[in-house]
Structure 1
Amino acid sequence: MNDLVDFEALRQRVGIKWARAGADVLPGWIADMDLPVPDPVRAALQRAAAGDLGYPDWEDRPDRNPLQEAFAERMRDRYDFAIDPDDVYVFTELIQVLQIVLQLMTRPGDAVAVHTPAYPPFLQTLEVMGRRLVPIPMIAGEHGWTFDADRMAEDIRRNDCRALVLVNPNNPTGHMFDRDELSAIAEIACRHDLFVISDEIHSELTHGRRQHIPIATLGPEIAGRTLTLNSASKAFNLAGLRCCVAHVGDSRVRAALDAQPPLLYGQVSALSVLATCTAWRDGAAWLTETRQTLTGNRDLVAESLPPEIRFHRPDASYLAWLDCRALELEQDPAVFFLEHAKVRLLPGPDFGPGGAGFARLNFATFRPVLEEMLGRVHDAAQKHLNR
């Protein structure tokens, strides 16, 4: 799959990743994979398109969407976590859930804690909605990323935080919070009566033997104040279908959601539900192969970068958080590499506090594409250093 790649065919794709790359530019920015859609998903969608595209049999019962049981099965099988399918809500995408819950459960001026650097649309949501960001700085150590739990607790207390947005695995660092870290976070959330929005969309893209731990599995008290968000969009490359789920363990949030008109927030399509259910139930072999490909790509990134660009191999995901500060660039690294390497990355400053001097690279592509991308980055950095 990686040996022969038609670069021009990739440039003809209509998705945003390649369509907005620009002439002769290689895209390593938005979090889409270039890899093909899983065969079982493709076949299921083709059968549906050739047959019945009428109203789904759950059309008049949005509280009985097939994804509710499918997600409950997946949480039970992967994490031995028993959840009630009735507590699973279906939405179009994670950012929608974040905005709905913040609208229902907080007021303008309320403080929301987030590990930073952070996914830019989450930061933009807080700003547009008038919620105060309380950053929890991620700290780069010798062996990877972590954070200061004592500082987190003090900042949450001092700012009287209402909610915590937990992105696990973290975007952009790829750090997977371990049991001790999650236990500390859970204790802080319970002590300060936070409701927790846990974005776990990258959780199935783990490397090696690392195991994701949903924070809601740590006990009934934290489970009772957590919304666990997930989707097949990242792990199975289905972002354009617009479909995600939220297990709402917090009864206060369930009551607020249930009080809304049933279709106020729209409804997912029958095809997106079909694709997601098929991916979760029939996509295991594809996911195993894809994880192996991504781990190889991750290691290639680490081996190909010049030593002046520091990079901690992520525990999960296909995102490389590149520390370019040693290059002493006079411009943002993403701007520099677009201009001098024809490689499009996401700018680090977009990720908020802790992002200056960094850029995010998406390595979920075919090997020849990644090799060319990394070669361009390496050559541009070396030319700058030798100027």
Structure 2
Amino acid sequence: MKLAPVRAVPGFDDLGMDWLRARGSVKWHRPERDVLPAWVADMDFPTPPPVVAALREVVDGRDLGYPDWPDGSPLRTAFAERMAGRFGWAASADRVREQTDLIQCLQLVLHLATSDGDAVAVQVPNYPPFLATLRTMNRRIVPVPMEDTDDGPRMDFAALDTAVKRSGCTALVLVNPHNPTGRVLTRDELGEIAAIARRHDLLVVSDEIHAELTYAPHRHIPFASLSDDTARRTVTLTSATKAFNLAAIRCAVTHYGPDRLLALRDAQPPDLYGTVSPLGVVATLAAWRHGDAWQRELLTVLDRNRRRVHEVVRDRLPLVRHRLPEATYLAWLDTRPLGLDEPPVEKVLREGRVLLDGGAPFGPGADGFLRLNFATSRNVLEEVLGRVVEALGGREGDGGAGGHLAP
């Protein structure tokens, strides 16, 4: 398969293998040297220059003392401005609170709003740490499967309504854009969920961390922006970490819609759940205020890469089902038609020396699926795809997709 002529993007396609393997982050550090990682949801790209510059300015100024934030960090206003400018959502800065990461945001909300043994509805497949959180906190998981239709993964709203009613759910964890399938829910679909939430008086915890990684013509719509009733029952979780590759800054925000829940949160001891680092706030502000040009280049690369994954799977693994993701940098591959005699994650690692995610950790019905992270340079992606195709017994290509990188 010949590669389509595509402009190489400096800063994204010129990543050296020595540089990647020298990184201390878990993605590249944990696998053995001959294994290519395409698993955990970190991008391979360097930190955006505006973020580096902002952090350097703080460090060079030799001022790492206590910040003067008597009314909360500047993230609160910055978040409201970002939501209004990007999505037309008039979020209130007064309802924003900072936490160290999205998982902590979710855990705090569940701790305050639900009780031991409460039923919580959640889409499946789903982000494994969310499912693990619900299990660890002894919340009863009510799985709502995403239907695999000719138009891609879709939520079954009748099944959601029935499951919520039958199980007596008190909350719904909504992931939109969806990890791992990459679906972006439409306004009509979100309206169906809002109606179910209103009918059963559900708290909706909406994870929207991939919102800025949505590909045209798809459009992210904040769930809380649908109506006043929806806003009053929705807690929105997000961060700059996914859209700007900043996982280690440990900085996220929660927007509280319910008055009672916000008051309950503010009644907690102020430092019980930790506080965000000023460096995390500086990095987030730099990303949101000065990182748009970098992000546009990023989306160009990710759009190209998602199409390349789809092309290779279609042509060289025709039995494997794959839908072009509408958002995120994650491909969700259904290998069940191959009839493998072992989990595909294990087969691809053993025979292809590529580390992917997938299978049971993503919830009921995820066996036989692979999640492939395509947020990397063109050459690394070609090698990853070539190895995956070979490990799964795919067709030979006419060039490209593998065989270029030193072990």
* Range into which the TM-score falls when normalised by the shorter chain: over 0.9
Deviant stretches of 4+, over 2 Å? 1-5, 52-59
Q: Which residue of 1 aligns with 2:386?
A: 375
Local SS of the residue matching 1:64: coil
Q: Which residue of 2 aligns with 1:334?
A: 345
Q: Distance in 1 between matches of 2:150 and 2:394?
A: 28
Deviation at 1:55, TM superposition (A): 2.5
Local SS of the residue matching 1:205: coil
2:177 is equivalent to residue 169 of structure 1: yes
Amino acid at match of 1:151: A
Q: 1:135 aligns with which of 143, 147, 150?
A: 143
Q: 1:194, 1:225 within 8 Å by CA — same for their partners in 2?
A: yes
Q: Which residue of 1 aligns with 2:217?
A: 209
Q: Which residue of 2 aligns with 1:353?
A: 364
Residues 76-87 of structure 1 aligned to structure 2 (within 5 Å)? 76-87=84-95
2:46 is equivalent to residue 21 of structure 1: no
- Two-structure CA RMSD over aligned residues (Å): 1.4
Deviation at 1:379, TM superposition (A): 1.3
Q: Which residue of 1 aligns with 2:113?
A: 105
Q: Distance in 2 between matches of 1:383 and 1:272?
A: 44
Deviation at 1:56, TM superposition (A): 4.4
Local SS of the residue matching 2:271: coil
Deviation at 1:162, TM superposition (A): 0.5
Q: 2:294 aligns with which of 283, 286, 289?
A: 286
Amino acid at match of 1:70: A
Local SS of the residue matching 1:331: coil
Q: 2:125, 2:180 within 8 Å by CA — same for their partners in 1?
A: yes
Residues 64-83 of structure 1 aligned to structure 2 (within 5 Å)? 64-83=72-91
Q: Distance in 2 between matches of 1:56 and 1:291?
A: 36
Q: 1:318 aligns with which of 321, 329, 346?
A: 329
Q: Distance in 2 between matches of 1:310 and 1:27?
A: 22
Local SS of the residue matching 1:98: helix
Does 142-151 or 217-226 show the bigger shift?
Answer: 142-151
TM-score, normalization by structure 2: 0.92
Q: Deviations over 1:194-226 (max 9, x none)?
A: 111100000100112211001111000000010
Q: Which residue of 1 aligns with 2:56?
A: 46
Q: Distance in 1 between matches of 2:196 and 2:35?
A: 45
Tell me, which stretches of 5 or more residues in structure 2 are unaligned? 1-9, 397-407
Deviation at 1:235, TM superposition (A): 0.1
- CA 1:35/1:135 → structure 2, altered by over 3 Å: closer, same or farther? same
Tell me, which stretches of 5 or more residues in structure 1 are unaligned? none
TM-score, normalization by structure 1: 0.97
Q: Distance in 1 between matches of 2:47 and 2:92?
A: 30
Q: How many residues align?
A: 383
Q: Distance in 1 between matches of 2:96 and 2:13?
A: 41
Deviation at 1:54, TM superposition (A): 2.7
Q: 1:169, 1:175 within 8 Å by CA — same for their partners in 2?
A: yes
Q: Distance in 2 between matches of 1:209 and 1:21?
A: 37
Q: 2:389, 2:395 within 8 Å by CA — same for their partners in 1?
A: no
Q: 2:124, 2:364 within 8 Å by CA — same for their partners in 1?
A: yes
Q: 2:67, 2:278 within 8 Å by CA — same for their partners in 1?
A: no
Q: 1:208, 1:295 within 8 Å by CA — same for their partners in 2?
A: no
Q: Percent identity?
A: 51
Q: Distance in 1 between matches of 2:87 and 2:275?
A: 28
- CA 1:303/1:192 → structure 2, altered by over 3 Å: closer, same or farther? same
Q: Distance in 2 between matches of 1:281 and 1:198?
A: 24
Local SS of the residue matching 1:353: coil
2:122 is equivalent to residue 114 of structure 1: yes
Q: 2:148, 2:154 within 8 Å by CA — same for their partners in 1?
A: yes
Q: Distance in 1 between matches of 2:217 and 2:300?
A: 11
Q: Distance in 1 between matches of 2:352 and 2:13?
A: 23
Q: Which residue of 1 aligns with 2:16?
A: 6
Q: Which residue of 2 aligns with 1:158?
A: 166
